[in-house]
Chain A
Amino acid sequence: MSHSTHPAAEFTASGFIPSGQIQLGVFFQGVNSGTVWKAAESGSQTDFESFRRIAQTAERGLFAAFFLGEGLRLREHLGRPHALDVAGRPDAQTALAALAAVTTKIGLVATQNTTYNDPADLAHRLSTLDLLSGGRAAWNIVTTDNAWTGANFRRGGYLDHADRYTHAEAFVETAKRIWDAWDDGAVAGSASAERWSAEGSVRRVRHTGRHYTVDVTPRLPRSAQYRPVLFQAGDSPEGRDFAARQADVIFSAHPQLDDALEFRRDIVERTLRAGRGAQDVKIMPASEFILAATPREALEKKAWVRSLQIGPQQAIAYLEQFWGRELQGYDPDGPLPDIDPVVEETSETRGSGFHGAKARQLADQWRAEATEKGLSIRQFVSAKTSRGDSTFTGSYTEVADRLSEYARTGAVDGFNISPWLIPSGLDDIVNHLVPELQERGVYPTEYAGSTLRENLGLATPARTGASVEVGIDSSSVTAQA
């Protein structure tokens, strides 16, 4: 695929028009190897003050969204909890409900799993967050299928991998109908009304399917932004189609400009095929920013950050995930282990994020790669995990120029930044990068409105139909008796 030098023209042909703007979000990860905890200025990963500080800094920088992840089982390494990275984070919606009290404009995005929640309960909690934040809530939809996480839940690991998206889609459709169940203006305008909600203004939602049975009269009316904004991050063809049908924002893994343009084209096509408008799905890739006053200082800072992210112990532990055995005897500054992995397939979800590759084949491939490039274990792992694709390194002006190109071409709608330092990791972005972007006319100079939907430039969604068929599941909405 050759990249046009005039991508905007191509997009226009499909109906997509670049906005010429980008926005920023912040992803407080809480569990990952990218967060530097060894630096003196690294603060608590759990105390509320860290969350407050990041969210309020982001809001000062006019960020669109504050984003929290979720993992329902602690990561493991060789059969025990993984010791080397930050871990232990609060429940996303509980932390966001507290942040709703100390912020006024920024969107509050909760990653929540469709597999280990019930649609009626999750939809109700998201509605609560949406109302308490004045219309700033969003749900980042994730799916899990494994029995390993299921061991923490009554239902256990009951879902086939192939069913993940049909299951998730039935869940999301049901949630949308719960959020649509109250008519506009259903709630009494004053205490003198006959009824708290107008007669017949609330519909009962019923869903009977392979995965869920739901029969509920939803308890909350719509919020100022109608219903929570939906984020989704799946990158497989099924995941992209799911997002094109259901999501408002894709939290993508395609931050490089060429790749981002290609991803945009693909998503616009899929969105149009799903019967939605070319502008209806926003794209915000995951990213990391390492910035300084000069290019050289930024490169020095990057080397320092990387050395703290992947120390010698992390380098060995990283390989142990794939080898399935202890490799403590190997020198982190020496070559990759000459012994073979003891597992057939690499661990699927226990922290590697690496899905079922043949371990021996992978080890051979990596050894060859490291030998060819002359890399030690530590150098090799650092290269593998550096998220080089998603890292923007440079002076404030350099990076602002680069980001302006994304705005001009419409490759993305913004970036979801993972700060490598908590809680001060957004300070230089807000203090130095944001003003550069504003000077270039590619970044907001004020919040467009008070809801997340307004601030992301999303249209009010159409009300879900009176009766919806989802796959083999049957659904119905009936007027309340």
Chain B
Amino acid sequence: MSSHPAQDGPREHGLLLLELDGAGSHPAAWRVSRTAPAAVLGPEHLRGAVLAAESAGFHAATFSDPGMPAPGHPDAAARLNALQRAAFAGPVTRSLALIPEVDTAYTEPFHISTQLASLDYVSGGRAGWLVAASSSAADAAAVGRDTVRGDRLSREAADSIEVSRRLWDSWEDNAVIRDVPTGRYLDVDKLHYIDVENGSYSVKGPSIIPRPPQGQLPVLAPAGLLTAEAVAAGAADALLVSAPTPGLLAAELAATRAGLAAGGDGPALIAELDVVLDSRGQPAAERLAGLNGHTPWQSPRAQFIGSAAGLTDLLTEVLAWAEGVRLHPAVLDTDLEELTRLVLPELRRRGVLAPTSPDATFRDQLGLARPASRYAAASSAPGAEN
């Protein structure tokens, strides 16, 4: 980050992220959605959702990858793989950053790295990675492993990120040389074994795909997943910050910022917020009561329940403390309609939001320069061996 938000009013820097899972973030959303249950799993729903988010002016879409709710639960809905949904959205969209949630506990980092680099190619440099570390016993049983918990979950997440970051750097930017006179397609001096042995993984490398367009994909992690040391070492480019209520978000953001190492290059902070809006004459509280009547929404995030104007004011305030806010709409089609119609235009009018651009990478949106490969720096150092 080149500059952190001061607490002195709005800046044209704010990013809005929209979570796009299923029919909405509320478990009972499917009961009031205008999309039929099975259609949520089809290509047209996804195409429509990402195009709606992009044309509304969101900067990014996130794709969560939750396990099934408890089997047998009436709201237990099927879920598509998050990374492939993001990949599908790549050629459909032009400016929206695409950020799938990918688990580190039960997924091989070599696969994660390759898949995310590929996502960066199919989206033209608009990919990010929302790190999730599953502690679910069901996820562990699916792959026949012991459940990973506590410190080990955090360590494996950091170790997995390290593997991906090194693999992304393992091809220097200009490794594909296509040099006809010498017959070389690659300059092998620009390919690097990563030889990671970090306790959780041992990975040889190099990657099987050239360096992604962004060089390094922005990595987002829930605040608290990674240790302060890992964050200080640059494991994450953004932290997702939650608070019990909207009123506590600013304080939580300030506390998180204070806990980061001093200096100008800390991670961006993105506030997490559930949203239920007044819609078509129906008050938000009444909508939520109806949904909760089916299944209570047990969310770890702050919840805004109310009018578009109220949400606009809240977002204006929160964006003075955070680089971005991720919105989790209770019901995607209903709440996105209100956000599009009333909230985003007013935020833009107030000058709170960063502009969107079809040529911007996700790093550009976050104000991050494109880094050189760490191996390029090593091999060009004075006295380095060839």
Q: Return B371 CB to nearest CB of chain A, in Å.
A: 20
Asked if B271 is an interface residue, CB under 8 A from chain A, the answer is no
Q: Return A343 CB to nearest CB of chain B, in Å.
A: 20
Chain A residues with CB under 8 Å of B313's CB are none
Inter-chain contact A46/B210, CB cutoff 8 Å: yes
Asked if B121 is an interface residue, CB under 8 A from chain A, the answer is yes
Known contacts A94-B119, A219-B79, A313-B182; can you find 12 more A-B pairs with CB under 8 A? A48-B124, A73-B204, A83-B184, A90-B122, A94-B118, A98-B91, A125-B84, A128-B81, A151-B203, A153-B110, A220-B78, A221-B78
Give the residue of A93, A212, A216 whose beta carbon is less than 8 angstroms from that of B84. Answer: A93
Asked if A80 is an interface residue, CB under 8 A from chain B, the answer is yes
Q: Return B177 CB to nearest CB of chain A, in Å.
A: 9
Inter-chain contact A220/B90, CB cutoff 8 Å: no
Inter-chain contact A83/B188, CB cutoff 8 Å: yes
Inter-chain contact B210/A213, CB cutoff 8 Å: no
**Known A72-B110, A101-B88: A95·B118 in contact at CB below 8 Å:** yes
* Interface residues in B, total, Cβ within 8 A: 76
Q: When chains A and B are docked, how far (Å) is the Cα of A124 from the Cα of B88?
A: 16
**Known A91-B115, A221-B78: A47·B121 in contact at CB below 8 Å:** yes
Chain B residues with CB under 8 Å of A116's CB are 108, 110-111
Inter-chain contact A132/B84, CB cutoff 8 Å: yes
Q: When chains A and B are docked, how far (Å) is the Cα of A189 from the Cα of B46?
A: 19
- Enumerate the 3 nearest inter-chain pairs by beta-carbon distance, A residue then B residue, closest first: A213-B144, A313-B183, A90-B118
Chain B residues with CB under 8 Å of A182's CB are 78
Inter-chain contact A196/B77, CB cutoff 8 Å: yes
Give the residue of A83, A87, A134, A312 whose beta carbon is less than 8 angstroms from that of B42. Answer: A134
Q: When chains A and B are docked, how far (Å) is the Cα of A4 from the Cα of B92?
A: 53
Chain A residues with CB under 8 Å of B188's CB are 80-83
Inter-chain contact A121/B107, CB cutoff 8 Å: yes
Inter-chain contact A152/B84, CB cutoff 8 Å: no
Asked if B75 is an interface residue, CB under 8 A from chain A, the answer is yes
**Known A88-B176, A191-B32: A220·B138 in contact at CB below 8 Å:** no
**Chain A interface main SS type:** loop
Inter-chain contact B37/A90, CB cutoff 8 Å: no
Q: Return B322 CB to nearest CB of chain A, in Å.
A: 30
Q: Return B386 CB to nearest CB of chain A, in Å.
A: 11
Select the stretch in B66-74, B299-307, B354-362 that faces chain A: B66-74
Q: Return A426 CB to nearest CB of chain B, in Å.
A: 19
Inter-chain contact A191/B33, CB cutoff 8 Å: yes
Inter-chain contact A217/B78, CB cutoff 8 Å: no
Inter-chain contact A101/B186, CB cutoff 8 Å: no
Give the residue of B37, B110, B114 whose beta carbon is less than 8 angstroms from that of A193. Answer: B37
Chain B residues with CB under 8 Å of A215's CB are 141-142, 144
Q: Return A382 CB to nearest CB of chain B, in Å.
A: 14
Q: Return A210 CB to nearest CB of chain B, in Å.
A: 12
Q: Which of B43, B84, B114 has the most CB of A within 10 A?
A: B84
Inter-chain contact A131/B110, CB cutoff 8 Å: no
Inter-chain contact A118/B143, CB cutoff 8 Å: yes
Chain B, residue nearest A216 (CB): B142
Q: When chains A and B are docked, how far (Å) is the Cα of A56 from the Cα of B190?
A: 33
**Which residues of B line the A interface, CB within 8 A?**
30-33, 36-38, 41-43, 46-47, 67-68, 71-72, 74-81, 83-85, 87-92, 106-108, 110-111, 114-115, 117-119, 121-124, 138, 141-144, 171, 175-176, 178, 180, 182-188, 191, 200-210
Instruction: Name 5 A/B residue pairs within 8 A (Cβ), A-sorted.
Output: A91-B111, A94-B118, A95-B121, A197-B76, A480-B72
Q: Return A188 CB to nearest CB of chain B, in Å.
A: 4
Give the residue of B71, B92, B180 whose beta carbon is less than 8 angstroms from that of A217. Answer: B71
Give the residue of B80, B187, B204 whose beta carbon is less than 8 angstroms from that of A151. Answer: B204
Give the residue of A84, A125, A154 whose beta carbon is less than 8 angstroms from that of B184. Answer: A84
Inter-chain contact B185/A220, CB cutoff 8 Å: no
Q: When chains A and B are docked, how far (Å) is the Cα of A124 from the Cα of B122?
A: 21
Inter-chain contact A132/B43, CB cutoff 8 Å: yes
Give the residue of A89, A187, A193, A311 whose beta carbon is less than 8 angstroms from that of B78. Answer: A187
Q: Mark A122-156, 1 if CB is under 8 A from B, else 0.
A: 00110011011110000000000000000111101
Inter-chain contact A187/B122, CB cutoff 8 Å: no
Q: When chains A and B are docked, how far (Å) is the Cα of A118 from the Cα of B142?
A: 9
**Which residues of A line the B interface, CB within 8 A?**
37-38, 45-48, 52, 71-74, 80-91, 93-95, 97-98, 100-102, 116-118, 120-121, 124-125, 128-129, 131-134, 151-154, 156, 182, 187-197, 199, 202, 204, 212-217, 219-221, 311-314, 480-481
Q: When chains A and B are docked, how far (Å) is the Cα of A154 from the Cα of B204?
A: 11
**Known A133-B43, A216-B142, A219-B79: A152·B204 in contact at CB below 8 Å:** yes
**Known A98-B88, A196-B74: A312·B183 in contact at CB below 8 Å:** yes
Q: When chains A and B are docked, how far (Å) is the Cα of A213 from the Cα of B41?
A: 28
Give the residue of A72, A102, A196, A214 whose beta carbon is less than 8 angstroms from that of B143. Answer: A214
Chain B residues with CB under 8 Å of A131's CB are 41-43, 80
Chain B residues with CB under 8 Å of A48's CB are 90-91, 121-122, 124
Chain B residues with CB under 8 Å of A118's CB are 106, 142-144
**Known A91-B118, A94-B83, A101-B90: A46·B209 in contact at CB below 8 Å:** yes
Q: When chains A and B are docked, how far (Å) is the Cα of A38 from the Cα of B209?
A: 20
Q: When chains A and B are docked, how far (Å) is the Cα of A129 from the Cα of B81?
A: 9
Inter-chain contact B90/A190, CB cutoff 8 Å: no
Give the residue of B88, B141, B180 whose beta carbon is less than 8 angstroms from that of A100. Answer: B88
Inter-chain contact B143/A121, CB cutoff 8 Å: yes
Give the residue of B38, B119, B180 whose beta carbon is less than 8 angstroms from that of A38. Answer: B180
Q: When chains A and B are docked, how far (Å) is the Cα of A433 from the Cα of B319?
A: 60
Inter-chain contact A121/B43, CB cutoff 8 Å: no
Inter-chain contact A481/B182, CB cutoff 8 Å: no
Inter-chain contact A83/B185, CB cutoff 8 Å: yes
Q: When chains A and B are docked, how far (Å) is the Cα of A481 from the Cα of B71?
A: 7
Chain A residues with CB under 8 Å of B124's CB are 48
Inter-chain contact A87/B183, CB cutoff 8 Å: no
Chain A, residue nearest B143 (CB): A118
Q: When chains A and B are docked, how far (Å) is the Cα of A199 from the Cα of B75?
A: 11
Q: When chains A and B are docked, how far (Å) is the Cα of A53 from the Cα of B171?
A: 25
Q: When chains A and B are docked, how far (Å) is the Cα of A204 from the Cα of B31?
A: 25
Q: Which of A52, A151, A191, A212 has the most CB of B within 10 A?
A: A191
Give the residue of A82, A90, A97, A121 whose beta carbon is less than 8 angstroms from that of B209. Answer: A90
Inter-chain contact B141/A216, CB cutoff 8 Å: yes
Inter-chain contact B84/A89, CB cutoff 8 Å: no
**Known A90-B118, A154-B108: A194·B144 in contact at CB below 8 Å:** no
Q: Return B105 CB to nearest CB of chain A, in Å.
A: 11
**Known A191-B32, A212-B144, A481-B72: A121·B37 in contact at CB below 8 Å:** no
**Known A48-B121, A313-B184: A94·B84 in contact at CB below 8 Å:** yes
**Known A124-B81, A221-B78, A481-B72: A84·B88 in contact at CB below 8 Å:** no
Q: When chains A and B are docked, how far (Å) is the Cα of A158 from the Cα of B43?
A: 38
